Structure formats: C-alpha cells, structure tokens
Amino acid sequence: MKPILIGGEWITTSHGVKNINPSDLSDVVDIYAQAGRAETQTAIEAATHAATTWGMSNPQQRHDLLHRVGDEILARREELGALLAREEGKVLPEAIGEVTRAGQIFLFFAAEALRQKGDVLASTRPGVGIEVTREPIGVVGIIAPWNFPIAIPAWKIAPALCYGNTVVFKPAELVPGCAWALADILHRSGLPAGVFNLVIGPGSVVGQAMLDDPRVNAISFTGSQATGARVAKASLPFLRKIQLEMGGKNPLVVLDDADLDVAVHCAVDGSFFSTGQRCTASSRLIVTEGIHDRFVGAVADRLATLRVGHALDKATHIGPVVDAAQLSQDVDYIAIARSQGGLLRFGGEMVRRETDGYFLAPALITETSPDMRINREEVFGPVASVIRVRDYDAALHVANDIEFGLSAGICTTSLKHATDFKRKAQAGMVMVNVPTAGVDHHVPFGGRKASSYGSREQGTYASEFFSVVKTSYTAA
Ligand code: NAD
C-alpha cells in the first residue's frame, strides 16, 4: 500500500483504496492509504509549522529544489506518462505530453523564484521612501480534479512553493497514482519536512477537513461548480483567499468562410481528444448554415477513422471514460439530447474491446437548439452537439448565452469576425483557428462567469494568488 506524506514522513493508515485502470477493470494500478480528518489536521499542523522557515528561504534554494523536481519529471516522462494513461485513461502520447507539461511548469517556476521583485516608489511626503513587496500567504490547500492528474497539481504546487508557501495537497479520489509519484519526487528533492504534504482521501472527509481549518490560509481549487461553491462558502467565515477553476460549456463557432480542414481538426481535437474530459473541451459546435452540412459530414467521416480503446494501445486515438459514474452521465446526456429532439449523427454507443473498460464511441449530436439541456449543462465526456445558426451575429449571441465562460473558439478566414470575436467572446480564453482545448503553460489560464473565481493560474500571473502584497514606508 502506498502511504501518505505528512511532515516529511511517509505514513500508512488502516484503510487503503484500490486504483483501477479504466481501460482494464481487472488491472489494479496500486492501493493507496487513505487519510481521514485527523491525518489531514496533522498535515495542516506540519505545514503551519514549516511555513515560517520556508517563507524566509532564499530564492536560490527554492529555484534549485523546483528545478530538481522539473528535471526528474522530464527525465521520467515516459514512465510517468504510462502511469497516467493507466490510472486516468488518457492515450499514451497525450499522457506523456501532460507529464512533460508538468515538468516544464516546475522549471518555469524555478526560474520565477529568482525573479521575485517589487517596486520602489517615491513618497508624496518628503524624506520617506516606499517599497512594495510580495510575501507568502502561508499554508495553501490544493484540491485537484481527476482529469489532469499531474499537470493541474503541478500548476498549483510549483507556484505555491515558488512564492514561499507550504502545501497540503489533496488529489482527486480517482488519480492517487500521479499524485503519489509527484509527492515522492518532491520529497526526495530535499524540501524541508512539512513544506509539502500529501493527503489522499475522499473530498467529503479530507477536502472538507481542509475547508474547515482556519490554519489553511488559501485554497486553490479546480473541479466542479458544485464543489467550488462549497469551497467558497466554507472559506467566507475565515475570509480565506480562494481561487476556483470550474466547469465549462465551451463554444466553437464555425463560419461559412472557415477552412473546412481546420474547422474539422478544431472540432474533433477540441471535443473528443482526452475523451472530451477537459474543462476546455468544445461541447457546443455553433455552425452557420452555408457550411453546416459539409462540416457535419466531414466531422462524422473523421470520427469514423478514430479508434476508441485501451489507453496504452498504440492504435488508440480515444481512451476510455474515467469511471462508471462518468460513463453513465455521458450516456444519460446522449439520451436526454435525443429525447429533446437531437439527432445522434455518429457514435454514442458502448464499444467492446479485448479488455473490460469504459469505452464509449464519440457522440456527435445534430439538430440541437441552444435551450436544450445538452447545450446548457456540462457533460464532461466525448459528446458534442451541433447548433445551426444563420450568421456570425447569431453565432456570437449563442456562444455567449451561457452561464460558463472558460474557453471560446472560432474558425474563420475573416479578420473582421476573428477580431470581433476576440473582443466580444465572454470567456477567459479565446481561440482563433485553434482548438478550444490546448493551452501554453507560461501564460494565464482561467475563465470568467461561473467557470472561474479569483485570480488567474499559471505564468507570472500566478503570483497574484500565491503571494500577498506589502507596502512599506521608511523615513530616512
Ligand atoms: P469534483 O468537484 O467532483 O472534485 C474536485 C475535487 O474536489 C476532488 O479532489 C474532490 O475530492 C474534491 N471535493 C469533493 N467534495 C469536496 C468537499 N466537500 N470539500 C472539499 N473538497 C471536495 O470535480 P471532478 O469530477 O474531480 O472534476 C471534473 C470537474 O472539474 C469538471 O466540472 C471540470 O470542468 C472541472 N475542471 C475545471 C478546470 C478548470 O481549470 N476550469 C480544469 C479541469 C477540470
């Protein structure tokens, strides 16, 4: 059984949970010790104790540690990618890509540790100088989802440590393997005891214990809207700093003047790769009349060439759905869409393979309208619906007429429409002729409206959340 990490010690608990491979339900990845409320509180105690010393650590020390972590992740990308593919179901090239991303993020924040800067200003009062500096917040609680088991933890843990905070990390229940591997690398990097702690366990126990504890000074959360709202509500009484990245219902607009190949690539990649289990997936394909039939036909033809199967099989393009609950949600939404008048143009059926796994053929649903549930609620699976619209103005209206605002895309060769869309799309990220999913690691990531709350993640913008500003006045 793989232990949890508290105060620099690996600790085994009385209860372990099996990590099952969604591509092969007979394959147990490993068994992971479960933390309870008491262990979580001990981890918070350890992080609190370590915060003062780590907060005063010098930038070179932080740089060297983060660099060591990034180097090891990159050196082991194939092995860790295989672990990720096995526990989450991303196909191997995508999984290796995600691990690479995690390594790059640690290297980015290693360098940022050496760039911690402030401002020196003249005062409006004679003989007084002003310095504006950034300081650590203290103990940061990190609560992560299952769909990016190593990249999302990396883009929260690396900046937290870079800016001098200590961490209590709670991964999602379905993906303890990558979390454990990352904790092992961090532990061996030479981090002082208590600076990084790993508590594996259910959200309702471990996550809730973090929310309830006033010693947790900030929480960076990624997950569903419902859990995000819970994090916000629990944090308000403590006036705790929070950062919430939540769901999406991302539009991809395809205009008559789009390059058809580009549009098909954006739709297929954005909607179905990573089994559609990306918060930035394009789940609403909003297509103007003149290209609609050609586009739908070409997407269906392309889908017919893709193989769904075991994530570690080289022939596989789309891996399994992550678990039985998510699979039944996907299948339910396909049925709901059909019951409301949608036409299942391609896929949507369970696929049998040599191993017993959660294989679902990518579903393309046409003849849908913006008010249908399939176009208003996040499915989080390989399911995309097509909405036919008259022109660009109607497309923009439909794209924005939703409570979410994470990523929005457009395929067009019109500079006018691309420019207008970049300006008017109500989303944190806008994509022109590139898929809605797929971002760089060195620039801000996040959404608006119900998709996000708080300051941006990633790149230099991460310092907003992971540090606090101090203004000092000194009379000479
Ligand atoms: P989830 O909300 O079920 O779980 C997220 C995390 O919260 C898990 O670690 C879970 O254990 C924990 N949790 C659950 N109950 C809790 C509680 N009471 N207190 C504290 N923590 C608790 O989400 P999920 O199913 O793991 O992830 C899928 C969701 O994540 C989708 O909605 C997706 O859009 C979203 N997501 C968003 C982004 C983004 O950046 N916007 C990125 C990836 C995923």
Based on the domain organization, do 413 and 456 belong to the same domain? Answer: no
Determine the Cα–Cα distance for residues 186 and 5; give it in Å rounded to an integer: 10
Is the C-beta atom of 227 inside 6 A of ligand 1? yes
The 10s digit of each residue's pLDDT in 159-204 is: 999 999 999 999 999 999 999 999 999 999 999 999 999 999 999 9
Is the C-beta atom of 322 inside 6 A of ligand 1? no
Based on the domain organization, do 276 and 212 belong to the same domain? Answer: no
Element of type H or E holding 27: strand 24-33
Determine the Cα–Cα distance for residues 256 and 234; give it in Å rounded to an integer: 48
Determine the Cα–Cα distance for residues 152 and 199; give it in Å rounded to an integer: 16
Residue 438 lies in a domain: no
Percentages helix, strand, coil for the chain, rounded to the nearest 5?
Answer: 40, 25, 35
Is the C-beta atom of 471 inside 6 A of ligand 1? no
E strands in 72-223: 119-122, 128-136, 139-143, 166-170, 196-198, 218-222
Based on the domain organization, do 230 and 359 belong to the same domain? Answer: no
Q: What's residue 208's pLDDT?
A: 98
Specify the ligand 1 atom closest to the Cα of 227. 2
224 CA → ligand 1 middle, Å: 4
Residue 146 lies in a domain: yes
Q: The domain spanning residue 109 has which CATH number?
A: 3.40.605.10
Q: What's residue 69's pLDDT?
A: 98
Determine the Cα–Cα distance for residues 72 and 59; give it in Å rounded to an integer: 20
Q: What's residue 345's pLDDT?
A: 98
291 CA → ligand 1 middle, Å: 37
Determine the Cα–Cα distance for residues 214 and 235; give it in Å rounded to an integer: 9
Q: Annotated catalytic sites, by residue?
A: 245, 279
Residue 170 lies in a domain: yes
Is the C-beta atom of 380 inside 6 A of ligand 1? yes
Based on the domain organization, do 73 and 118 belong to the same domain? Answer: yes
Is the C-beta atom of 209 inside 6 A of ligand 1? no
Paired strand residues for 128: 475
Determine the Cα–Cα distance for residues 295 and 337; give it in Å rounded to an integer: 20
Q: Could you say which DSSP state residue 122 is in?
A: E
**Nearest C-alpha to atom 39 of ligand 1 is from which residue?**
245
Residue 440 lies in a domain: no
For 408, the token pair is: 């929005």
The 10s digit of each residue's pLDDT in 68-113 is: 999 999 999 999 999 999 999 999 999 999 999 999 999 999 999 9
Which domain does 307 fall in, by range? 250-432
Which one of 34, 170, 206, 224 would you pick to mutate in the ligand 1 pocket, going by the greatest count of ligand atoms within 8 A of its CB?
224
The total domain count for the chain is 2
Is the C-beta atom of 170 inside 6 A of ligand 1? yes
pTM of the model: 0.97
The 10s digit of each residue's pLDDT in 285-325 is: 999 999 999 999 999 999 999 999 999 999 999 999 999 99
Residue with tokens 């709202």: 229
145 CA → ligand 1 middle, Å: 4
Based on the domain organization, do 22 and 73 belong to the same domain? Answer: yes
Residue 151 lies in a domain: yes
Is the C-beta atom of 204 inside 6 A of ligand 1? yes
CA 459 to chain CA centroid, Å, is 15
Residue with tokens 């205009």: 255
Residue 205 lies in a domain: yes
411 has pLDDT over 90: yes
Based on the domain organization, do 122 and 44 belong to the same domain? Answer: yes
- DSSP secondary structure of 247-308: ---EEEEE-TTS-HHHHHHHHHHHHHGGGG--TT-EEEEEEEHHHHHHHHHHHHHHHHTPPB
Residue 47 lies in a domain: yes
Residue 21 lies in a domain: yes
Which one of 17, 227, 245, 456 would you pick to mutate in the ligand 1 pocket, going by the greatest count of ligand atoms within 8 A of its CB?
227
Is the C-beta atom of 149 inside 6 A of ligand 1? no
Q: What's residue 476's pLDDT?
A: 80
Based on the domain organization, do 54 and 127 belong to the same domain? Answer: yes
Residue with tokens 């109500």: 426
Which one of 17, 44, 143, 240 would you pick to mutate in the ligand 1 pocket, going by the greatest count of ligand atoms within 8 A of its CB?
143
Based on the domain organization, do 150 and 58 belong to the same domain? Answer: yes
Based on the domain organization, do 65 and 177 belong to the same domain? Answer: yes
Based on the domain organization, do 396 and 455 belong to the same domain? Answer: no
Based on the domain organization, do 190 and 42 belong to the same domain? Answer: yes
Determine the Cα–Cα distance for residues 175 and 389; give it in Å rounded to an integer: 40
CB-count exposure of residue 239 (10 Å: 0-12, 13-18, 19+): exposed
52 by DSSP, 3-state: which? Answer: helix
Is the C-beta atom of 151 inside 6 A of ligand 1? no
Q: The domain spanning residue 405 has which CATH number?
A: 3.40.309.10
Specify the ligand 1 atom closest to the Cα of 447. 41
